Amino acid sequence: MKRVYPVTNMSCAGCAAGVEKTLQAQPGVLYASVNFADSSVLLETDPKITTPERLREIVRAMGYDMIIEEPEEARTLKESIEESNYVKLKRNTLFAWIFSIPVMILSMLFMKHTESHGDISMLNVILMLLSFPVLAFFGRSFFIRGFKQAGMFKANMDTLVALSTSIAFLLSTFNTLWPSFWIDKGLEPMVYYEAAVMIISFVLLGKFLEERAKGNTTASIKRLMGLAPKVATVIRGGERVEIPVYTIKVGEIVVVKPGDKIPVDGVVTEGDSYVDESMITGEPIGVLKQRGERVLAGTINQKGSFNFEADKVGSETVLAKIIEMVKEAQGSKAPVQRIVDKIASIFVPAVLVISIITLAVWLTIGGQSHFFHALISAVSVLVIACPCALGLATPTALMVGIGKAAEEHILIKDAAALEQIKDIDTIVLDKTGTLTEGSPAVTNYKLFSDRPGIEVLAELEKRSEHPLAEALLQWANSHIGASDIKTELTSFQSITGKGVKGTFDGEEWWAGNIELMEEMIGTSKDDSLKVIFAEAMALSSEWQARGLSIIYFGVRGRLLAIIAAADRIKESSAEAVSKMKKMGIEIHLLTGDNRATAEAIAKEAGISNVFAGALPSDKENYVVSLQKRGRKVAMAGDGINDSQALARADVSIAMGRGTDVAMDVSMMTIMTDDLRLLPRAIELSRGTVKLIRQNLFWAFIYNLIGIPVAAGLLYPVNGTLLNPMIAAAAMAFSSVSVVLNSLRLARK
């Protein structure tokens, strides 16, 4: 069983790493991946061994919660909890600052120590009373979660904040109530109330800004969810009733009025209308939907109205699967993120050790007289070394990149694909449906008669089962025009491997290949027929050299027309190939079609590397041969007959309109017929990875510089000690800056 579950109350990357490690260690859990940026966990479990209820209890014991209700209910519940937590965080941040600012002002304007004779200072008492609510009420979540983590012998950001602020507050309280203890030893009893409250206030402010910014990283998911309507009209008991969409059952008749969003997937049973399917296909022109045609959830009905029978509801609709795929992709981990997770998991314990070493070194070098310097440095190390920026660096960039790709009809199944496609130097393209339209159409024709009887050809092709019949029928219908002739065949015959014959108006009409033509015309030809035949053969040779399929049409012993059909190259293919070449990518065409057709298509698209007549195993071997040459290979195909090659490629890309099969077999699905989205996906990959590297660089540099400065490395040089309050502000800024940097990609 594979599903994404919301996880609430996580406050840092360390929390996410702890939840992931704990869940991964549970019996029956095959895979666990926690996404801190999205507050969710992707779980793959064996339902025979464990249950969501059991895993939720384990998560709750850690001080968090996992929502296991049905997806629609879970989403609503998560949104409600997040909204409540956001309001609470906003309130706590506001009140923390209301109490902290007076503490800060009083500390700056007046002396922070007691009188020399050891009496209790009223100023310090006031500072203590103002500081207490900040720690006990507005910042109590840090202490609650930190305590629960300690009970499980774990540590996270809450541990660092709780330790640093409690040490500063408790020492200040002791110095306020018993100042003589230090005075008797010849030391000034310093108080650090402003450091304690400002740490809490800055961390709360950072979390508040971070949560607000993180909300924008999930905007693409929210927009996709917004495509589906909340209510729908169905026919129950012979009456039209309006019900919530999630209560629609398979088999129910749904009524769609002009302008309505279609609520679920189904098949039209009555009426017709044009439907805007741009959210699925990217095509701006409405598609005519008649009886028997499929309609998809989230698409928009235009001016007509119709009824349809629901056949896929809830999580089974194409839209729901797209949303789930984007969620899973955003929750999956890129290879670089796994390295970061390992660093984050040992980061907090390492910081605790560094803080203790800092305290010990200061006391060893300076003795008791440097006790307060030692304490300030140790507390600053605890505060500045929050791993939040490190933990947010990769997932926020991935969420924005994958979300933006989804908006542009590029579905990325795995974050690894988004990271890996930037390194691709070779792309292998299937021909049919990838470079070409995927269905044949008439491209050339020559008529040898003023009245060629095309309406008869249309009747012949209506009855034919040949793959080219539909293309010929469409062409014939477009050329018939207004005709008074009522065309009814009195006989019809399909000749396997040759073509079709039929009788109309007492004459025998035929359409097929050159063998059927020679059979119907015969070897003896009059002079006029010889001229037509010679012209037909010349055209046939020319068109066949371009990879076109030839159809001959005639009546009795006469040739009336020669028609060429082919699977036409898409308008976007040549431009896409040209763009990928400019990006330094080598393009290969791989097809099971004949050499002439393959080379003709390759020439039109601008591809020089062609392998034709390939069986599925040949395609796989071709990809392997490229990899053996040290190439990083992406394969783009239809996801079915290219499955072996797709599985072997470094990155597999399915072309099409987001069918179930295509989405299942590929790492990435281009949901429209526009091949230009392939270089766009590469651009997005490069942009996302560039962001990840920027984020990680600043997160590492921040800690690399911040921790030594906090430990007092600059004190012997210029007497600089980092105030814990400044450390808290820097820590908050680092997390917010990483999220804001990731959001730049969404605005490009």
What is the second-level CATH architecture of the domain 439-568? 3-Layer(aba) Sandwich (3.40)
Amino acid letter for position 594 = N
- SS3 assignment, position 260: coil
pLDDT digits (tens, 9 = 90+) for 556-573: 888 999 999 887 888 888
Answer yes or no: are the C-beta atoms of 268 and 288 closer than 8 Å. no
Supply the pLDDT for residue 484: 47
Q: Which residues contact 72 (CB under 8 A, 6 or more apart)?
A: 246, 314
Answer yes or no: are the C-beta atoms of 164 and 383 closer than 8 Å. yes
Q: Which of 276, 341, 430, 567 is catalytic?
A: 430
**Local confidence band at 362 (pLDDT 50, 70, 90 cut-offs):** confident
Most confident of 146-160, 403-417, 420-434: 420-434
Supply the pLDDT for residue 249: 92
Most confident of 144-153, 351-360, 734-743: 351-360
More confident residue, 745 or 313: 313
More confident residue, 526 or 168: 168
**Local confidence band at 299 (pLDDT 50, 70, 90 cut-offs):** confident
**Local confidence band at 115 (pLDDT 50, 70, 90 cut-offs):** very low
Q: List, in sequence order, every residue forming a beta bridge with 288; answer none if it has no partner.
A: 274
Q: Is the pLDDT of residue 133 over 90?
A: yes
Q: Which secondary structure element, helix H or strand E, spans residue 300, and what is its range?
A: strand 300-301
pTM tops 0.85, yes or no: no
Supply the pLDDT for residue 552: 94
Q: Is the pLDDT of residue 635 over 50?
A: yes
Answer yes or no: are the C-beta atoms of 512 and 551 closer than 8 Å. yes
Answer yes or no: are the C-beta atoms of 396 and 699 closer than 8 Å. no
Supply the pLDDT for residue 499: 87
Question: What average pLDDT does range 679-707 have in this prediction?
Answer: 84
Please give the C-alpha separations between residue 128 and each of 94, 197, 549, in angstroms, as whole numbers: 19, 10, 90
- SS3 assignment, position 218: coil
Q: Is the pLDDT of residue 542 over 90?
A: no
Supply the pLDDT for residue 336: 63
**Local confidence band at 116 (pLDDT 50, 70, 90 cut-offs):** very low
Where do we find the tokens 């009809």? 409
Supply the pLDDT for residue 592: 73
Q: Is the pLDDT of residue 691 over 90?
A: no
Mean pLDDT of the chain: 81
More confident residue, 222 or 95: 95
Most confident of 16-30, 181-195, 360-374: 16-30
Q: For the chain, what are the domain ranges?
A: 1-227+317-409+677-748, 229-316, 413-436+570-676, 439-568
* DSSP tag of 299: -
CATH class of the domain defined by 413-436+570-676: alpha beta
* DSSP tag of 119: P
- The two structure tokens encoding residue 26: 């549970």
pLDDT digits (tens, 9 = 90+) for 191-227: 778 878 887 887 787 677 667 755 555 555 666 667 7
Question: What average pLDDT does range 325-342 have in this prediction?
Answer: 62
User: Which of 133-137, 212-216, 466-470, 500-504 has the least mean pLDDT?
Assistant: 212-216
Angle between helices 595-605 and 573-582 (to 10 degrees): 70
Supply the pLDDT for residue 659: 45
User: Which of 160-164, 324-328, 405-409 has the least mean pLDDT?
Assistant: 324-328
Active-site residue flag, 430? yes
User: Which of 40-44, 329-333, 432-436 has the least mean pLDDT?
Assistant: 329-333
Smallest CA-to-CA distance from 22 within 211, 148, 159 is with 148
Q: Could you count the other beta carbons within 10 Å of the beta carbon of residue 407? A: 14
Q: Is the pLDDT of residue 55 over 90?
A: yes
Q: Which secondary structure element, helix H or strand E, spans residue 412, and what is its range?
A: strand 410-412
Q: Which residues contact 296 (CB under 8 A, 6 or more apart)?
A: 262, 265, 277, 280, 317, 318, 319
Answer yes or no: are the C-beta atoms of 474 and 461 closer than 8 Å. no
Question: How far apart, in whole angstroms, are the C-alpha atoms of residue 318 and residue 296?
Answer: 7
Supply the pLDDT for residue 327: 65
Supply the pLDDT for residue 113: 44
Question: How far apart, in whole angstroms, are the C-alpha atoms of residue 381 and residue 353?
Answer: 10
**Local confidence band at 23 (pLDDT 50, 70, 90 cut-offs):** very high
Q: Is the pLDDT of residue 553 over 50?
A: yes
Most confident of 145-159, 178-192, 605-619: 605-619
Question: What average pLDDT does range 491-515 have in this prediction?
Answer: 88
Q: Is the pLDDT of residue 543 over 80?
A: yes
- The 8 Å CB, 24+ separation contacts for 112-116 are 112/190, 112/191, 113/179, 113/188, 113/189, 113/190, 113/191, 114/175, 114/176, 114/179, 114/183, 114/189, 116/183
Q: Is the pLDDT of residue 579 over 90?
A: yes
Q: Is the pLDDT of residue 464 over 60?
A: yes
More confident residue, 690 or 195: 690
Where do we find the tokens 């005075």? 183
Check if CATH label 2.70.150.10 holds for domain 229-316.
Answer: yes
How far does the chain reach from its first CA to its final CA, in angstroms? 37
**Local confidence band at 661 (pLDDT 50, 70, 90 cut-offs):** very low
**Local confidence band at 662 (pLDDT 50, 70, 90 cut-offs):** very low
Question: What average pLDDT does range 165-182 have in this prediction?
Answer: 84
Supply the pLDDT for residue 554: 92
Supply the pLDDT for residue 280: 64
For the chain, give the percent of residues with pLDDT over 90: 20
Supply the pLDDT for residue 331: 58
Supply the pLDDT for residue 411: 80
Query: How many Cα neighbours within 13 Å face the side chain of 688?
Result: 34
Q: Is the pLDDT of residue 301 over 60?
A: yes
Supply the pLDDT for residue 240: 92
Q: Is the pLDDT of residue 658 over 60?
A: no
Q: Is the pLDDT of residue 72 over 80?
A: no
- The two structure tokens encoding residue 408: 């542009």
